[in-house]
Amino acid sequence: MTDVAVVTGTSTGMGLHAAVELARRGLHVVATMRDVGRAGALRAAAAEAGVEVDVRALDVVDHEAAAELVAQIEAERGGIHVLVNNAGQGSVATAEQLSMRQIQDQLDVNYLAPVNLTKLVLPGMRERGSGRILTVTSVGGTVGQPFADAYCGAKFAVEGFMQSLAVVAERFGVRVSVLEPAAVASSFVA
């Protein structure tokens, strides 16, 4: 059976390109996004590459929906072999300008969502003795950036989680890594 990759945040940017490239490499890709009505660019890129992607709705901050989706994919496809935690949300403001709700939103999307999805796929990966979890963080997860207090804080948190988990997960055959891109030309902050 074909290995399965789940990629979050695939309507644009790095998530879109990761989904298409993984499909091009022969994986069955479940490409998730909040609004599947925005899947046009992904479908066009996949068609241009001569591949198919399985587009499904997922708001990564809805932990129950994430659990349901993971269970559904595992039942349909026999497991998830690759998880790309790509969905994210930018924030350009200082702590004084942000409400606590806005700060919580940064934690929910950029930290708690990838932690939840990672927790959901780990049991199956551990059981199979293999798997790959890649989390897209940011250079803002290693070096604080002016006017990005909440964003960088959430990215620092997910970096620490994934770095700590990597050592343990490697013992049962699961590779955990982070990707720390600098600024990327996309609609991310918008």
Catalytic site positions: 151
- From 125, 48, 116, select the one nearest 87 (Cα to Cα): 116
H-run or E-run covering 172:
none
Going by the DSSP 8-state scheme, the letter that residue 60 receives in this structure is T
Handedness of CA 149, 152, 158, 162 (dihedral sign): negative
- The answer to whether 139 and 90 have CB atoms below 8 angstroms apart is no
Token pair 């999307």: residue: 109
CA distance 71 to 58: 13
